[in-house]
Amino acid sequence: MSSANVSHHPGQPSHGARLVLIGLGVVLVGLGVFGIVRRVHARHELTQETQRDAIATVATMTPKAAPMDQALTLPGTVASWQDAQIYARTTGYVAKWYVDIGARVKKGQRLADLDTPDVDNQLLQGKAQMRTDIANMNFAKVTADRYEKLVKQGLVATQTGDQYEAQYKADVATVQADEANVAHLQNLEDFKYIAAPFDGVITQRNLDVGALVDAGSTGSNLFVIADTSTLRVYVDVPETYAASVKIGMPAEVGLNTYGAKPITGTVARTADALDATTRTLRTEIDVDNRAQELVPGVYANVKLAVATATHNYIVPANTLLFRSEGLRVALVDGTRHVHLQPVTLGRDFGSTVEVTDGLSEQDRIVLSPPDSLAEGQQVNITAPSIPSRAGK
């Protein structure tokens, strides 16, 4: 055998086999490393996805400014233009009454008659006394004139003439007092006839034939009369709108429960000062009621076209969060973190509400915020904020 031939020992791999084994090892190691890298990458993506899912995604909006001019409806009380409680000015018994509740009367119309025997007798006595004093005054006048002539003739002393002249003047004063007393008694006599002080409707009758009535307001009134040709409607305007209430501005008065159609009235006067307790402005509206469509004492709805100087906003009702610490809305700042902002509500329009305090036009409000939303929580925003169409 030639020496150039290399002998192969049994059980030893050849050089090519070793290369194949090495390649297989490298491939296996590469596969292992690749698998590990894929698992690490998948775990990293899962972690990022979990973190993304943990951040809430919300939709936002900006509040819409409420209109400055708006119709304000307030509760009001309807009162008569004027009313009076009628009392007796003289003491006596009810002889007759002519009108009952609901009767419409004219000024000066007879309402009732009183029987006043005491006043009648006093008037007769006063007139008789006055006639006596007039007779004495006339006699004193004649005597004084006679003595004045005698004094001028020098037949009597001047002092005697002065005495009769003074007596005459005293009698004149007595007659004047009698005249005043008779006039007073005559007034009491005239007051036995109860008359209406103005045109109106009788709302109360508190007398019957034979009842004793006393002069003055210590007892019960005989009648109550109300003038309903014009009505006064009183409303209390909140401080926010008080500055926009002007004398002469129109107002619509409606009474839903009474069934009457709304009537247009005019703001006649205001208190020109706010009530310190309620922070409201007492306002009076005059309504022409010659058609007698309204009655005093009823509840009214008064609609005023007012304006507010404050910046109010309209937002959807589903932006509100009712928390134990109070009403809140969720705002998102520039770093996408949540701030729970306290707000004050005005009017409720159903699907939207008016916010009178707590918002600005630059705020981004979370729509339908979840109850789990917390102060400072980071969120994702689905789309850029757009002006809300709430209230349109």
Over residues 272-293, the pLDDT tens digits come to 999 999 999 999 999 998 888 7
Q: Specify if 7 maps to a domain.
A: no
Q: How far apart are CA 250 and CA 287, in angstroms?
A: 10
Residue 263 backbone dihedrals phi, psi, to 5 degrees: -120, 140
Q: Which amino acid is at 229?
A: S
**Considering Cα of 179, then 180, then 181, then 185, what sign does the dihedral take?**
positive
Q: Specify if 18 maps to a domain.
A: no
Q: Contact, 256 vs 294, CB < 8 A? A: no
CATH number at residue 301: 2.40.30.170
- Six-digit token pair at 20? 């194949």
CATH number at residue 146: 1.10.287
Same domain, 283 and 341: no
Among 279, 307, 335, identify where a domain stops. Answer: 307
Q: Who wins on pLDDT, 39 or 81?
A: 81
**pLDDT surpasses 50 at 1:** no
Report which of 81, 78, 101 is spatially closest to residue 297, judged by C-alpha positions.
Answer: 78
**pLDDT surpasses 60 at 390:** no
pLDDT score for 349: 79
Same domain, 252 and 303: yes
pTM reported for the whole predicted model: 0.58
**pLDDT surpasses 80 at 217:** no
What total of structural domains would you count in the chain? 3
Among 191, 220, 236, identify where a domain stops. Answer: 191
Same domain, 335 and 303: no
CATH number at residue 325: 2.40.420.20
Q: Specify if 93 maps to a domain.
A: no
Q: Contact, 201 vs 230, CB < 8 A? A: no
Domain span at 62: 57-67+311-381
Same domain, 236 and 296: yes
Q: Specify if 202 maps to a domain.
A: no
Q: Contact, 261 vs 122, CB < 8 A? A: no
Among 307, 342, 370, identify where a domain stops. Answer: 307
Q: Specify if 387 maps to a domain.
A: no
Q: Specify if 96 maps to a domain.
A: no
Same domain, 373 and 332: yes
Q: Specify if 28 maps to a domain.
A: no
Same domain, 264 and 276: yes
pLDDT digits (tens, 9 = 90+) for 14-27: 767 777 777 777 77
pLDDT score for 2: 44
Reduced to 3 states, what is the DSSP secondary structure of residue 352? strand
Q: Specify if 85 maps to a domain.
A: no
Same domain, 251 and 271: yes
- Six-digit token pair at 31? 């596969």
pLDDT digits (tens, 9 = 90+) for 151-197: 888 888 888 888 989 999 999 999 999 999 999 999 989 999 999 99
pLDDT score for 379: 85
